[in-house]
């Protein structure tokens, strides 16, 4: 055997053990879990279904009023905005205990608007400027579809997302023209609750 192919037996065994240890370490590591998403908070304008078990006469579908409160049979002016559906269900149960023995309540949000602090607002040269309810995983493309795209007068590549970071509002540049007209997917960015998309007018 040529000398350049000869390896001490001990070195081969040590290398094999090292590779085996590395492989076992990699295979034993648990996969990373996706970050937990915050629970949805009810907002003014939402519609909710309230089901009281075995009490259909007080099970209703009601809107959340602009002041953030709801009114149901036996319960008046109960704060709903800013709470999760589970929190609101427990509050309704407490209010109904005066009239129903051990009430069991389920709250389901059927129409979503969300709190103002979590809504996404689109202003400027959008086809339909408006406020949108934030959805988990919402992207810039999702927002543009919801508002019907941008106008012919928009300076799409000069748009900005105004975002609150640690209590400070910052402008994040975005390229709407590249995303919509050129199909550049790299220009599609994730949206966060409370973002404001500002689309300026171009100068021609």
> 204 falls in which pLDDT band (50, 70, 90)?
low
Please determine, for residue 15, whether its predicted confidence score (pLDDT) is greater than 80: no
Cα–Cα distance measured from residue 35 to residue 42, given in angstroms and rounded to the nearest whole number:
22
Q: What angle do CA 112, 116, 118 make, to 5 degrees?
A: 75
Q: What are the structural domain ranges in the chain?
A: 47-111, 119-199
> Nearest-CA neighbor of 144 among 155, 129, 157?
129
3-class SS of residue 198? strand
Is residue 75 within a helix (H) or strand (E), and if so which, with residue range? strand 75-79
Where are the extended beta strands (E) located within 11-119?
47-52, 60-63, 69-72, 75-79, 105-111
Does the pLDDT value for residue 83 go beyond 90? yes
Question: Which DSSP category does 102 fall into?
Answer: S
**DSSP state, 105?**
E
Measured at the alpha carbon of residue 73, what is the angle toward residues 68 and 79, in degrees to the nearest 5? 20
Q: Percent of the chain having pLDDT more than 70?
A: 81
Cβ neighbours for 192, distance < 8 A, ≥ 6 positions apart: 134, 163
CATH topology for 47-111 is: wza like fold (3.30.1950)
pLDDT at position 48: 97
Give residue 60's pLDDT.
Answer: 97
Asked if 47-111 and 119-199 have one fold, the answer is: no
Q: Which architecture characterizes domain 119-199 according to CATH?
A: Roll (3.10)
Whether residue 140 has pLDDT greater than 50? yes
Residue bearing the bigger pLDDT, 106 or 7: 106
By percentage, how much of the chain surpasses pLDDT 90?
72
pTM check: above 0.85: no
- Going by pLDDT thresholds of 50, 70 and 90, the confidence category of residue 23 is very low
Q: What is the pLDDT of residue 36?
A: 58
Cβ–Cβ contacts within 10 Å for residue 32, how many?
A: 6
Task: Report the pLDDT value the prediction gives residue 37, as an integer from 0 to 100.
Answer: 63
Confidence band of 47 (pLDDT split at 50, 70, 90) = very high
CA–CA distance, 119 with 20 (Å, rounded to integer): 51
pLDDT exceeds cutoff 50 at 178: yes
C-alpha separations of 22 from 12, 15, 124, 131 in Å: 16, 11, 55, 52
């Amino acid at each position: 055997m040529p000398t350049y192919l000869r390896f001490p037996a001990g070195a081969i065994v040590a290398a094999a053990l090292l590779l085996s240890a590395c492989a076992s370490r990699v295979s034993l590591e648990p996969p990373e879990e996706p970050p937990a998403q915050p629970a949805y908070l009810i907002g003014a304008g939402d519609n909710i279904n309230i089901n009281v078990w075995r009490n259909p006469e007080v099970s209703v579908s009601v809107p959340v009023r602009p002041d953030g409160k709801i009114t149901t049979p036996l319960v008046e002016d109960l704060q709903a905005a800013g709470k999760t559906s589970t929190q609101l269900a427990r509050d309704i149960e407490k209010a109904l205990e005066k009239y129903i023995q051990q009430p069991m309540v389920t709250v389901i949000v059927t129409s979503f608007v969300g709190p103002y602090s979590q809504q996404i607002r689109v202003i400027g040269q959008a086809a339909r400027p408006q406020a949108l309810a934030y959805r988990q995983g919402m992207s810039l493309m999702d927002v543009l579809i919801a508002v019907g795209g941008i106008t012919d007068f928009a300076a799409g590549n000069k748009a900005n997302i105004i975002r609150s970071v640690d209590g400070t509002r910052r402008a994040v540049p975005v390229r709407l023209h590249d995303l919509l007209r050129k199909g550049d997917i790299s220009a599609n960015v994730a949206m966060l609750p409370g973002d404001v998309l500002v689309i300026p007018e171009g100068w021609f």
